């Protein structure tokens, strides 16, 4: 089955800096790669996703890149704000989503 590795497990940045979270996957048949943000005690919410026919996607301060050959994809958050603090999960899907273990991002003012 699909195996998704996510790094780092924790990340602390100062407000205004950029944050990068990286994931690798094992199943070359996976074709959908979403990123979810989970605030404490709440459900995960989709923030951006990318399909395998696209190499990069951007939505305001958030961008995702995908390298199918290397089987890795990354989340980039620019100009971070304290409200970006949360746990972020990557996932890969050919059918059911397989999630990484999450990255706890802390943005300090």
Partner 1 sequence: SQTIHQWPATLVQPVGSPLSLECTVEGTSNPNLYWYRQAAGRGLQLLFYSVGIGQISSEVPQNLSASRPQDRQFILSSKKLLLSDSGFYLCAWSLPVGEQFFGPGTRLTVL
The site for partner 1 (CB under 8 A) is made up of 1, 6, 31-32, 34, 43-46, 49, 89, 93, 96-102
Min separation Cβ 92 and partner 1, Å: 12
The DSSP annotation for 63-96 comes to EEEEETTTTEEEEEE-S--GGG-EEEEEEEESSS
Between residues 17 and 58, which has the closer beta carbon with respect to partner 1? 58
Between residues 27 and 49, which has the closer beta carbon with respect to partner 1? 49
Contact assessment for residue 64 and residue 83, using Cβ atoms and an 8 Å cutoff: no
Q: Say whether 38 sits in a helix, a strand or coil.
A: strand
Min separation Cβ 99 and partner 1, Å: 4
Which of 30, 13, 33 shows the shortest CA–CA distance to 103? 13
Min separation Cβ 82 and partner 1, Å: 21
């Amino acid at each position: 089955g699909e195996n998704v590795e996510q790094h780092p497990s924790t990340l602390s940045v100062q407000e205004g800096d950029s944050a990068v979270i990286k994931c690798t996957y094992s199943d070359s048949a996976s074709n959908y790669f979403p990123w979810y943000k989970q605030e404490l005690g709440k459900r995960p919410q989709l923030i951006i996703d990318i399909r395998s026919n696209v190499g990069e996607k951007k939505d305001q301060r958030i961008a995702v890149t995908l390298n199918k050959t290397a089987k890795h994809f990354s989340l980039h958050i620019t100009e971070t704000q304290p409200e970006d603090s949360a746990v972020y999960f990557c996932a890969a899907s050919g059918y059911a989503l397989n999630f990484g273990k999450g990255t706890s991002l802390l943005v300090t003012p």
